[in-house]
Amino acid sequence: MKKPNALLEDLKPLLPAIAARADQAERARSVPAENIALLKGIGLHRALQPRHYGGLEISLAQFAECIAALAGACASTAWAMSLLCTHSHQLAMFPARLQDEIWGRDPDATASSSIAPFGRTEEVDGGVRFSGEMGWSSGCDHAEWAIMGFRRANGDGGQDYCFAVLPRSDYQIRDDWYAAGLRASGSRTLIVDRAFVPEHRIQRARDMMEGTSAGFGLYPDSAIYFNPYRPYFASGFSTVSLGIAERMLEAFKDKTRHRVRAYTGAAVGAATPALMRLAESTHQVAAARALLEKSWEQIADYSARHQYPTRTELAFWRTNQGYAVKLCIQAVDRLMEAAGGGAWFDSNEMQRLFRDAHMTGAHAYTDYDVCAQILGRELMGLEPDPAMT
């Protein structure tokens, strides 16, 4: 197992090359294969994979530091790679039979996802027939498997939110990712037409949140699998936002330090408004980091102690991430407003940071209007609203 921060130290020398390909990545609307090869070369894709298959099983805090650093170089690469990694944590909660199918055959295999329950299924002997157009599958160009969401009738007359895992041979990828932000994440649509999914490749989301999934307890010595899947799965969204904001602080300083006003020749970098904007954004980003670090450490601690969080703790972990994203976007916006016209040229990374920052707040998980309602209800002792995702 790698020592603490060893993976981050391996990552740092790769960041300049990844940053240099950011424009190329945006034009391709997908993470460059060269980036994936570099990251797999240091084992980042194994960060949350079971040791049984050669994985590293590092803590969430260690993993998040890597993703934040990667986001400063290329947010799209960080977004896609974080999901390819966190899906391994989710797959470790499936039966051993599925894990053997995936990693027993290819220890380097990864999975993308489209987990909104839009899949259509019909019950057949031994499983389901799955169909659907499953969007937003970040990093799918580089994955061998995909996790897809659907609803399944249960014995109580209701429906369960479930996940189905399909191999690459069971779906096509539609090249339809044209977006203003995270352009290179390759979050394309997966097309499935009546693919057979056996029972051992299906799990209920609720079981993965309550420690009752088929894979629960497979790794009794693990420090990361005794925790609901969602805090790990969603950790990358806010972490990418943090990495973008931290990079924006540096980009603003670099641009403003030598900037002069075109009509007056005044030095912008020494002007009070620029200094005040930089100071306030720096405080906001530091506050976002502190809030996220607290959550990362708590999640890692609970996982290591094999203690399941309460509903209130889960609500705070979820909404802390949403609030941190809100802080990061505000910090980026404040600096972009005062960066001058040159910051809006395609050749300037600040406009890309601005676009990518806003995309991190567009995910259902980081929507702060939703997060505020979730936490507010919990603080008032009200039952969760099922309409809140």
Residue reference for tokens 């097309």: 191
Question: Which pair of structure tokens corresponds to residue 180?
Answer: 């203003």
The SS3 assignment for 164 reads strand
pLDDT on residue 258: 81
- Cα–Cα distance measured from residue 107 to residue 18, given in angstroms and rounded to the nearest whole number: 24
- Which residue in 33, 16, 13 sits closest to 25, CA to CA? 33
Alpha helices in the chain (DSSP H): 6-11, 15-20, 22-28, 33-41, 60-73, 75-91, 96-99, 205-210, 229-233, 235-257, 272-304, 311-337, 349-360, 368-379
Phi, psi angles (nearest 5°) of residue 299: -60, -45
pLDDT in tens, 235-281: 999 999 999 999 999 999 999 988 777 667 777 778 889 999 999 99
Handedness of CA 59, 62, 64, 67 (dihedral sign): negative
132: part of which helix (H) or strand (E)?
Answer: strand 127-137
pLDDT in tens, 312-345: 999 999 999 999 999 999 999 999 999 999 999 9
pLDDT on residue 381: 96
pLDDT on residue 284: 98
Question: CB of 37 within 8 A of CB of 88?
Answer: no
Residues lower than pLDDT 70 in the chain:
1-4, 262-263, 389
The SS3 assignment for 112 reads strand
User: Around Cβ 258, how many Cβ atoms within 10 Å?
Assistant: 9
